[in-house]
Chain A
Amino acid sequence: MTDVAHQNTETNNSVHDLVMGAGENQFLTFVLEQEEYAVDILRVQEIRGWESVTRIPNTPEYIRGVLNLRGAIVPIVDLRMRFNMKSIEYGVTTVIVVLKVMKEDGSGSRTMGIVVDGVSEVYSVPESEIKEAPDFGTKVRTEFIKGLATIDDKMVIIIDIDKMLNSDELAVVDSVSESTGQIKE
């Protein structure tokens, strides 16, 4: 991790650049356990304060439940729990970031929300500044990380939300309900 940070300090002046140019992406960053994570801003639909959700039975704990978002039923994932971090009481800065997630089979998108400690900023990062994630040393599973970027001497972890929110329990169609209606004698 230190290696990565070191590499990036050389170019950090040009990184912190809010003007969008060719090959640049804008990211919304948020905080989880003092670390900064980033998601593609184009995927962010809205940011709202925490409000109570309806629990869905028989789902992992990190799926907090579903929320009514202007008539749509939107599942909410607690990212701390998802990444096996220590849970904390939700406070005033706790927010839900509502994201558009592309389905893996390319059949469209769905809307999901993630609960994070708080949002921090919007950054522009040139494509060239995004480094590959190391396969160790982060609290987040490597497969969910799109890359790392250094912004103002801070390392920011860019999350691949499609991979993260489509993975295992969140996307697999439940086999029991598929067989609903068959007589199991």
Chain B
Amino acid sequence: MTKVLAVDDSASMRQMVSFTLKGAGYDVVEAKDGVEALGIAKTTSFNLVITDVNMPNMDGISLIRELRTLPDYKFIPMLMLTTESGTDKKTEGKAAGATGWIVKPFNPDQLLATIKRVIG
């Protein structure tokens, strides 16, 4: 089963992402910030990471940067959830190793479509 790590400090967004992906048959693990996500990622392996950018403790970009240093996560697709005003963030995220981004606001269909782009 395809395992997805969904990281967002907002519970409602996390629920939405998780609910959507579970409905599409993915196995989803949630984390509320970068620190928690990193901890989980080190013990479980995932096929995809979806992370919010702006989060307390450790933001999404730092999380991606950290994850890319781990051998298991070298080629794993990692998507950022970012806002339309975040062009800087996209560049910064790409530099940190993000595969791509999903622009907020998005609806469940858009989310699934984007995910299919990276893990088919």
Q: Do A and B touch (CB < 8 Å)?
A: no
